[in-house]
Amino acid sequence: MKKELKQIVEPIVKWYQKQEKTLPWKQDKEPYHIWVSEIMLQQTRIEAVKKYYTRFMKELPTIQDLAIVQEEKLLKLWEGLGYYSRAKNLKKAAIQIEQEYDGKLPTSYTQLLKLSGIGEYTAGAIASISYNEKVPAVDGNVLRVVSRVLASKEDVLLPETKRKVTKKLLEIMPDEPGDFNEGLMELGEKICLPNTVPLCEKCPIQEFCIAYKENLTNEIPVRIKKQKRKVENKTVFILKYKNEIAIRKREKTGILANLYEFPNVIRRNIRR
């Protein structure tokens, strides 16, 4: 299995290095830029992130600016990206960096993991891209690519599967860990697509992909969803007086904490 994965390293690195770096956060390897972009890219498509990243960096060009920004301004800059806890954790980590790391992002994977909102994937991305540390950065794109290369039927939604993939990649990290990690991510984003037919004819590692050879790309990766989403039915009130509309601030904890909303109540089923 290590041999199968080892074969994909050189083709992916070479393929990635030939790609045109047009995205704003790929113009340099500044740790702050990589950090903010990777947090924004979680749960969000690249095309949607571009304008938010540019606006964010214009308003908060340094970690110091992020550490002192008012929360309402921060959330306004984040408005439309969703998952607002990501923005709040950015500010918490920025304060932590100011207080504990002299205003500079830590330079190692293990130290990065100590920051608020930075998990294994983000720490791996920053450490490999900005500091050339030989650590993987495993996100959904990487899980999909590796699962298809190995024709693995393990559930990619399980933490254990992610740990196994991370361990396998750690054993084959090249001298260009950032290019390899970004290559894997970009391959999943552009070619080894989810929920549709992957563009295998354009894939630089097609010859090493077992799922392609065995016609299993529509079955892999395996995802077994176990939890249903909680759905709340609400009655929303639009209260308007002349040119003014009533809004209220949400609670300090829970989903969309501290954001504004129209007044509303949970709608109960009424038995007749």
pLDDT digits (tens, 9 = 90+) for 140-180: 999 999 999 999 999 999 999 999 999 999 999 999 999 99
For residue 251, the tally of other CB atoms under 10 A from its CB is 10
Cis peptide before 221 (omega within 30 of 0): yes
- Residue 22 predicted with pLDDT over 90: no
Residue 232 clears pLDDT 70, i.e. is over it: yes
Q: What is the pLDDT of residues 46-102, one digit of tens each?
A: 888 999 999 999 999 999 999 999 999 999 999 888 888 999 999 999 999 999 999
Of 4, 10, 30, 38, catalytic: 38
Q: How confident is the model at residue 272 (pLDDT cuts 50, 70, 90)?
A: very low
Amino acid present at 189: E
Task: Report the SS3 class of residue 81.
Answer: coil
Q: What are phi and psi of 261, to 5 degrees?
A: -150, 165
Is residue 262 scored above 90 in pLDDT? Answer: no
Q: Look up residue 53 and give its two tokens.
A: 């990243």
The third-level CATH classification (topology) of the domain covering 2-137+171-193 is Endonuclease III; domain 1 (1.10.340)
CB 258 within 8 A of CB 91: no
For the ranges 33-47, 99-113, 225-239, the one whose mean pLDDT is highest: 99-113
Q: Is residue 50 packed enough to be buried (19+ CB in 10 Å), middle (13-18) or exposed (0-12)?
A: middle
User: Domain spans of the chain?
Assistant: 2-137+171-193, 234-266
Backbone phi and psi for residue 244, each to the nearest 5 degrees, phi listed first: -110, 140
Nearest to 191 by CA among 209, 214, 168, 167: 209
Note if the pTM is more than 0.85. Answer: no
CA distance 5 to 3: 5
Indicate the average pLDDT of the chain. 90
Tell me the one-letter amino acid at 207.
E
Q: Say whether pLDDT at 199 is over 90.
A: yes
| Distance separating alpha carbons of residues 124 and 161, to the nearest angstrom | 17
DSSP code string of 119-146: -HHHHHHHHHHHH--------HHHHHHH
Q: Are 264 and 234 in contact (CB under 8 A)?
A: yes
Where does the pLDDT of residue 241 fall: very low under 50, low under 70, confident under 90, or very high at 90 and above? confident
Q: Is 232 a catalytic residue?
A: no
Could you tell me which residue, 272 or 44, shows the higher pLDDT?
44
